[in-house]
Structure 1
Amino acid sequence: MTDLFHDLAPLLWNAFGIAAVFLQEIISTYPALSPPTLTPAHSIRVCNALALLQCVACHPDTRMLLIKAYIPLYLYPILRTTNMSAPYEFLRLASLGVIGALVKANTKEVFTFLLSSEIIPLCLLNMEIGRETTKTIATFIVEKIMSDEVGLDYVCATAERYFAVGRVLDIVLESLEKQPSPRLLKIIIPCYARLSSNPSRAGLALTSNLPDNFGDVTFIDGLREDPTTWNWVKQLLDNARANQARSVIGRGGGGGIDDNVAPSSE
């Protein structure tokens, strides 16, 4: 849509009453969230509105205006729902699409806004309960946030946050053994690599609890075909070796994960 009409986002945002219509469509779902009464037709209608909102989130001239109006926060009640029926899944997917469009900008302003509004727990929830596409977009958001030092520091600032992220990453990785998804796997690997690069005890904890998959020669060899993914694998394994060496000589690093949370000895 944006390729066909590059100025669509500014026109939508600046048109009289359109922002209010976006909010009206989003808020119209709230009564149907609990108890769950959302119909397929209602879900499709709101998803269409969210597709236009995603266009606004993508455009450099309207992205920060959307954030300054706090409109992404109105999507959070939708992202908290756990109903597994299709209308709710599509609604969560469309909402994550808007957030995903924001993080593609790779700006600290976007990351700071999303972190301050607690987007990580919502993404983790959708990584755990969503279908493949929902898991993929939610994981993509977490990966993009952790690709910036602000996001990585946030995740690794407390043991609770670090272990919450690590637990869900392990769950998703394990699920891929039953339902393989190369696209999702390519996003999971950088998440592990970024966590392993943290100089605090987060990196040490990850190294000590690295999933068995990364010690499986067959699994590792299967990742060599994609150069980008393989570079992340090499970075992860290099970080793991460096963290093990630091652990042996007793250099735990400062800051980050609480000092009383030591990595398990294996």
Structure 2
Amino acid sequence: MTYFENSGIGLQKETVEEQNKIQTTNEKELILVSSLVLDLIKNDSDQALIQLSSIRNDVDIVAPILWYSTGCLAALLREIISIYPFLSPPTLTTKQSEKACLALSLFQTIASNQETRTLFLRSSIPLYIYPFLSSSHKSPSFEILRVTSLGVIASLVKTEEDNFVNFLLSTEIIPLCLHAMEIGGEQEKIISTFIILKILLNENGLTYICETYERFLAVSSVIGNMVNYLLEEPSIELLKHIVRCYFRLADNSRAREALKQTLPQPLKDGTFIDLIGNDTRILKWLNLLLEELEL
């Protein structure tokens, strides 16, 4: 037998062993996730939620098993709905908020998974999250609830696909995001502005927002207020989303004419040069925006 033949046999043997190892790992993951989902369905949810949330980004099968396991979605919705009575008057405790956020993180996993995200949208389950985004209370228990809820919505719009954007537009997500941008802390502002940006990057979204002056004014005014927020609380991530929102709005002729008069002064006079630093992307978008507006 030649060297090459020996090498081929050795390679084939290693490949088979590697495949068996992968198969064994997948089987262990399947058993683990299925067991945790069963605990969740049986209303033994505390530890099941914690463990599922801890492995959700590392185990690919979590989202499909959550979606296709009979009773699992009902169990997750149970955790969400159970805290509705504590939203108004605002009596939500940290423990209640944390548990609901664990359930929301699993919804985010479903929303992020290619196999389940469209099914998740068609189920209208995201609507159950909207009451959390409507709250105005600024305690940590409410803020983390809004941040995690926004994370679920952000997962739906990452690809800017028409069906996801159209669903969000039809369910009035924009006022909820503007609300979070106005009252929230830095993380709320960043995620909600990211959602608005992704909607704007979709042609239907841009058309919808610029269709009436009232809609454009509502969006541009809140974004303008956040420019003022950056003067006191600098955030390069938030600035990036803000500049990109304005840059995209300028693609609409009517919005472009309006922005010539309403673009915040700090974006025109170099106020944020130190904050931008070496981030050439933001500087490029800002310069192109000013050129487009002839400012």
Asked if Structure 1 and Structure 2 have the same fold, meaning a TM-score greater than 0.5 normalized by the shorter chain, the answer is yes
2:270 maps to which of 217, 220, 228:
217
Provide the rounded CA distance (Å) in 1 between the counterparts of 2:56 and 2:162: 24
- Helix, strand or coil at the partner of 2:256: helix
- Helix, strand or coil at the partner of 2:92: coil
Q: How big is each residue's C-alpha offset from its partner over 1:160-219, in whole Å with a ceiling of 9 and x where there is no partner?
A: 1100001100111101100111111111110111112212x2211111111101221343
Partner of 2:169: 115
Provide the rounded CA distance (Å) in 2 between the counterparts of 1:47 and 1:234: 40
Larger helix percent: 2
Q: How big is each residue's C-alpha offset from its partner over 1:14-70, in whole Å with a ceiling of 9 and x where there is no partner?
A: 111111112111111211111111111100000011111100000011001111100
1:197 maps to which of 238, 251, 273:
251
Percent identity (aligned): 46
Q: After alignment, is 214-223 or 67-76 more displaced?
A: 214-223
- Helix, strand or coil at the partner of 2:293: helix
Q: Which one-letter code corresponds to 2:167 in the other structure?
A: F
Provide the rounded CA distance (Å) in 1 between the counterparts of 2:283 and 2:116: 36
Provide the rounded CA distance (Å) in 1 between the counterparts of 2:133 and 2:93: 17
- Helix, strand or coil at the partner of 2:187: helix
Q: How big is each residue's C-alpha offset from its partner over 1:79-132, in whole Å with a ceiling of 9 and x where there is no partner?
A: 000011111111111110100111112211100000110101100000010010
Q: Which one-letter code corresponds to 2:157 in the other structure?
A: V
Contact 2:133–2:180 under 8 Å retained in 1: yes
- Helix, strand or coil at the partner of 1:217: coil
Partner of 2:212: 158
Q: How big is each residue's C-alpha offset from its partner over 1:242-265, in whole Å with a ceiling of 9 and x where there is no partner?
A: xx8xxxxxxxxxxxxxxxxxxxxx
2:85 corresponds to 1:31: yes
Provide the rounded CA distance (Å) in 2 between the counterparts of 1:54 and 1:27: 17
2:244 corresponds to 1:180: no
Provide the rounded CA distance (Å) in 2 between the counterparts of 1:29 and 1:207: 45
Provide the rounded CA distance (Å) in 2 between the counterparts of 1:55 and 1:222: 33
Provide the rounded CA distance (Å) in 2 between the counterparts of 1:233 and 1:152: 19
1:226 maps to which of 279, 283, 286:
279
How do 1:8-27 and structure 2 match up within 5 A?
Answer: 8-27=62-81
Provide the rounded CA distance (Å) in 2 between the counterparts of 1:220 and 1:239: 19
Cα offset, 1:227, TM superposition: 2.3
Residues 31 and 2 from structure 1, CA distance in 2 versus in 1: closer, same or farther, beyond 3 angstroms? closer
Partner of 2:182: 128
Please, what TM-score do these two structures have when normalized by structure 1?
0.87
Residues 65 and 224 from structure 1, CA distance in 2 versus in 1: closer, same or farther, beyond 3 angstroms? same
Provide the rounded CA distance (Å) in 2 between the counterparts of 1:23 and 1:205: 43
2:122 corresponds to 1:68: yes
Partner of 1:7: 61
Cα offset, 1:3, TM superposition: 4.4
The higher relative CO (CA closer than 8 Å, separation ≥ 6) is in: 1
Alpha-carbon RMSD across the aligned residues, in angstroms, is 1.4
Please, what TM-score do these two structures have when normalized by structure 2?
0.79
2:195 corresponds to 1:141: yes
- Helix, strand or coil at the partner of 1:4: coil
Partner of 1:86: 140
Provide the rounded CA distance (Å) in 1 between the counterparts of 2:211 and 2:234: 32
Cα offset, 1:221, TM superposition: 6.8
Contact 1:196–1:207 under 8 Å retained in 2: no
